[in-house]
Amino acid sequence: MEQDINPRRKMEKTVEHYIKSGFKILFFIVFIILVSLLVGYVVMWLWNWLMPEVFGLPFLSYWQAVGLLFLAKLFFGFGNGGPSKGGKKRHFKKRFSKEKCGGLRRDFEDWKLYDQFWKTEGEQAFKNYVDKIKGDEAEERTS
């Protein structure tokens, strides 16, 4: 069995792979920079379109809008905790809510039987209750 190992071809493939990876990384860096510039422009445009007229606030320059966007990201977070991240936090919240509302959850389980009760006994019980209330009101008026 003859092995078809060509070290030169292998090296060319390796170099080609690294070049493609480098171009992909460079493309994504340029793409992120362009998107961030566009988002800054959109924030500036929206601010200057709405805020001065609605609230009487001053107009913003482009860099002020970018700074405002960055400040908002610092205050409100950078988007962590999505579906793929923060699984431990979600698990903690589920466990905590079950412990906190344990008694109420048991009571809620009983409500599954409400429809069945209403069909069998509820309508007649309600009619009896209404008749009783109307009878009590009639007695009060006559007294």
User: What averages of pLDDT result for each successive group of 10 residues across the chain (143 residues)?
Assistant: 71 91 95 92 93 91 91 82 54 58 62 75 82 84 75
CA-to-CA separations, 111 to 4, 55, 133, in angstroms, rounded: 73, 49, 26
* pTM beyond cutoff 0.85: no
Which residues does 4 contact at the CB level (< 8 Å), separation at least 6? Answer: none
Per-residue pLDDT, 4: 59
Asked if 74 and 48 touch (Cβ cutoff 8 Å), the reply is no
- Please give the pLDDT value at position 98: 56
Greatest CA separation for the chain: 115
Q: Can you tell me the distance from the alpha carbon of 31 to that of 41, in angstroms, rounded to the nearest whole number? A: 15
CB 59 within 8 Å of CB 52: yes
For helices 102-110 and 87-100, angle between their N-to-C axes, nearest 10 degrees:
70
CA–CA separation, 67 and 57 (whole Å): 16
> So what's the pLDDT on residue 1?
45
